[in-house]
A and B are shown apart, each in its own frame.
Chain A
Amino acid sequence: MSRPGRKEEEIRRMLDAPHPLVPADLHIRAARRGARLRRRRRALHHVGCVLLLVAAIAFAVWAVAVEPWVVPPSETTPEIDGW
């Protein structure tokens, strides 16, 4: 158990190499891009909502106009009268 532990410790020390310097404007760049991403997501969300609303209204109007639940009059059997 101690052997792999020591090996891993060795690699850990190896990984602890000098850290790179963080550019001073890193958070500004990230925030700018993040804000753009946020705006785009919200715009997409709004477009989706509007599309859904339009689809619902269009369906309602169509349904009221066509009334698809009404059984159409039969076309095969002739009307029987005169008996």
Chain B
Amino acid sequence: MRESRESTLAGRRAREFEAFVAGAGGRLLHVATLLTAEPAGRCPRAQRLLVGALAHMYAEWDRLRDEDPYDRTRQELVTRFARSAWRLHRRSRTWETGPECGVLARLGPQERLVVVLRLYESVPEEQTAALLGLPVERVRALGTRAVSLLRSTRPPRLRAPSWTGGRTEAR
């Protein structure tokens, strides 16, 4: 009796989870790729981050009540990135510079987090601050700095032909 209830619950969880990943996976992977500043074609670190965050969600799936699984996964992704960035930062900084890299490669991990949450995900400033555990003023300063950095470093990126897209370079 208890076994069958358990198995129907597991089946429902698997179905819901698959539907969620099918719907939100693309956007979440893009967020992860922006954070790790990897090129869209090859993003092993972003995939690892996302799989870890999704696995955490799967383990918590039955305990989610009215929360949005997308928001929770994004939060988990952000936390994991911040933690791994801190670890990598302490060990070495080699991961930041590569021959081919994503849009935000020139920014530090915190600036990337702020830019992605504030501008790509349109999370309000206060929520971003709470999510990152920073004061609102710091988030605002990081955002301003990141925007000016991204605008000022656009010319050098024009020289790098490996960057995918080309839409922003054309302008």
A residues whose Cβ falls under 8 Å from a Cβ of B: 4, 7-8, 10-23, 26-27, 29-38, 41
- CB neighbours (8 Å) of A11 from chain B are 115, 119, 147, 150-151
Q: Is B120 a contact of A34 with CB atoms below 8 Å?
A: no
Q: Inter-chain contact count A-B, CB under 8 Å?
A: 103
Interface majority SS (helix, strand, loop, mixed), chain B: helix
Interface centre among A8, A29, A30, by most chain B C-beta atoms within 10 angstroms, is A30
**A-B residue pairs, 9 tightest by C-beta:** A34-B58, A30-B54, A33-B55, A27-B21, A34-B55, A37-B59, A20-B40, A38-B59, A15-B120
Interface majority SS (helix, strand, loop, mixed), chain A: helix
With beta carbons under 8 angstroms apart, the residue of B22, B40, B56, B115 that contacts A15 is B115
In the bound complex, how far is the Cα of B57 from the Cα of A15, in angstroms?
26
Whether a CB of chain A sits under 8 angstroms from the CB of B46 is yes
In the bound complex, how far is the Cα of B14 from the Cα of A36, in angstroms?
14
In the bound complex, how far is the Cα of B167 from the Cα of A13, in angstroms?
9
Q: A17-B165, A23-B47 are in contact. List 12 more A-B contacts (CB 8 A).
A: A7-B151, A11-B119, A22-B29, A26-B50, A26-B54, A27-B18, A30-B50, A34-B17, A34-B56, A34-B61, A35-B58, A37-B56
Q: Is A15 a contact of B34 with CB atoms below 8 Å?
A: yes
In the bound complex, how far is the Cα of B111 from the Cα of A11, in angstroms?
13
Q: Is A20 a contact of B21 with CB atoms below 8 Å?
A: no
Q: A31 with B115: in contact, given A14-B103, A19-B30, A22-B29 (CB under 8 Å)? A: no
